[in-house]
Amino acid sequence: SWLDTLIMSFLELLNALPSLVLAIAIVAIVGVGLTNTVLAVALVAIPNIALQVRADIKAEFNKPYTSFARLDGANNLQIVTREVLPNVGAKLLAQSGSVCSVAILEISALGFLGLGAQAPLPEWGTLLSEAHLQFFTNASSIFIPGAAILLSVMSINWISLGLNDAINALKET
C-alpha cells in the first residue's frame, strides 16, 4: 500500500544517514546527559531494526510452510505467532547483539565528544576523553576504558552468535 511505501521510504532515508551524526543531532536538540544520549542512540537504531524485522518477516511469509498453514485454516496472527516468529527469532537475537554493540560504541563516542554523561558519572567515553590528555604520562588511563569497551562489545557479539548457533542447532534436531 502507499502508506507502507511511505513509511519504509522514510525509514530507508533515516537508515542511509550515519547513525552517529543523527545521534549527535538529537542530543544537540534535546540536550546533553546520559538519559538523552541513550534516548538518541535508541531512536537512531529504530530504522535499522524495523527494516530488518520487516524484511525477515516478509521473507518468511513467502516460504511454503506459511502457505500450508493458511491452507490448514490459520489466520495471519496464527501464522505470525506459530510459524514466522520462531523462525525469525534467531536472526533477531543475532541482530540484537549487534545493535547493543553499536549502542555501546555510539554512547561511548558521544561521551568522548562531551555529549554523553557528564563529569561525575563514570562513563567509558567520558573517561577516554579525560584520559587522552594524559596519554604520554599515564598510558594505562586510556587503556582501561578502551579495553572495557572492546571487551564488552566483543563479548556481546560472541554471546549473540553463540545463542544463534544454539538456536539453529535446536531447530535442526
pTM of this prediction exceeds 0.75: yes
The domain that contains 31 carries what CATH number?
Answer: 1.10.3720.10
Q: Which domain holds residue 164?
A: 2-172
Say how many domains are in the chain: 1
Mean pLDDT value of segment 85-93: 83
According to the model, what pLDDT value does residue 47 have?
93
Region of 89 please: left (phi>0), alpha (psi -120 to 50) or beta: alpha
pLDDT at residue 123, rounded to an integer: 86
Contact of 118 with 57, CB cutoff 8 Å: no
**Has residue 19 got a pLDDT over 90?**
yes
pLDDT over 90 (residue 9)? yes
For residues 110-121, average pLDDT: 86
